[in-house]
Structure 1
């Protein structure tokens, strides 16, 4: 498991792994949410030496950004609605733990609950059982 809470500040090698691993997990999140190819962008901004930078999945209706900006609170994934991929302010900010990157299914459920995008696997499972 990746140590999401180990600071990337002044550690270029760890920052590189942080970005690579977060990007990979966001790709898995896009697949878990069944986002069609071309309906989202995946960007990485390494920023300066003293910060983690951020990795962003920007969908037509959701903005999800990973970074170590909430280290003291334990939060590092920003989730909010948006109106397009040119909307960088969007709806209200919601934060979840960086550790959710280790459970992409749970992260997808959180994204779905906040933004409404993706499939609701719980609902689908309940319908099949009925």
Structure 2
């Protein structure tokens, strides 16, 4: 399991792993939310040597950004609504723990609860109903 709390500051290898892993998890999140291909992009900004930078999933209606910007609070995933992929300010900011990247179904549930975007996997819903 990835150590989301290990600082990326002044550690190029950790920053590379952080961005690679976060990009992979955000792509899994998009699949879990059943976001249509082409309705979102996943991008990475490594920023300077003293910070983690951020990895962003930007959908037409939701903006999710991962970074080590809330480490003292344990938060590092920003979730908010937006109006299109040119909208970078969007709705109210909501934060959840970076560790939620290790539980994509739970993160998807949080995104749905906060934004109303995405749908639960039909197979998962069928299993819960049974």
Residues 127, 51 of structure 1: alpha-carbon distance in 2 compared, 3 angstrom cutoff:
closer
- Structure 2-normalised TM-score? 0.94
- Aligned ranges for residues 1-130 of structure 1 at < 5 Å? 1-120=1-120, 124-125=125-126, 128-129=129-130
Render the CA deviation track for 1:10-49: whole Å, top value 9, x for unaligned: 0000000000000000000000000010000111000000
Per-residue deviation, 1:128: 3.8
**Using the alignment, how far apart are the partners of 1:92 and 1:118 within structure 2?**
18
Mapped partners of 1:127, 1:99: distance in 2: 25
Tell me by how many angstroms 1:124 deviates: 3.3
> Deviation per CA, 1:69-108, whole angstroms, max 9, x where unpaired?
0010000000000010000000000000000000000000
For residues 100 and 59 of structure 2, the distance between their equivalents in structure 1, rounded to whole angstroms, comes to 19
TM-align CA RMSD: 1.7
The CA distance in 1 between the partners of 2:129 and 2:74, in whole Å, is 36
Say which SS state the counterpart of residue 92 (structure 1) adopts.
coil
Number of residue pairs matched by the alignment: 129
Structure 1: gaps (5+ residues): none
Tell me how far 1:126 sits from its aligned partner. Answer: 8.2
